[in-house]
Structure 1
């Protein structure tokens, strides 16, 4: 488990270094490939929040199914409970996550406007 964690963190660190290091003669990235370049405001915020929530739910369900069905050999009612419980959790936390994301985006916008 520790080795897996270290590998994932190492890959993420390498990815960040590659993103932050830009060669002097590197060409600019076309605007259509920049995240958020085509949409601004509410549509982008809603897309990011819903995409993050759905992606997190799908990843959680993949881990639950793979572990509990493949390793622990539990299934049936347990998996049904895991799916409905996680869906309930996402439904409860999604408005809070959306509100927190909106506050952060607004602060960044206000901070950039005052500079």
Structure 2
């Protein structure tokens, strides 16, 4: 019992002692500073990753645009293209609404004439 009384009195002295309180406050400040530095490093790494992904997405969009333009050029230059230009425009949403139905009919006619059984 005497041991418990000593522990309680030591705890009471510690709570009333400014040095102990200051040590606890400084320890808390250091812990928060370390956590803040770690979070700042994580944010910087994520921003660098975001910039890299944005750059690669822009490069992919440019490549896809080039492929699309090349596909349209090949479809418009030859009459024997596998997919007619009107059908390609309908697929990419560049044809007006009334032409989409016409493109489907034209596609059905061209595919029927190409495949002979």
Same-fold call, TM > 0.5? no
Report 1 or 2 for greater relative contact order, CA contacts < 8 Å, sequence distance ≥ 6. Answer: 1
- How high is the TM-score relative to the length of structure 1? 0.29
In our comparison, the structure showing a higher alpha carbon Rg is 2
TM-score normalized by the length of structure 2: 0.28
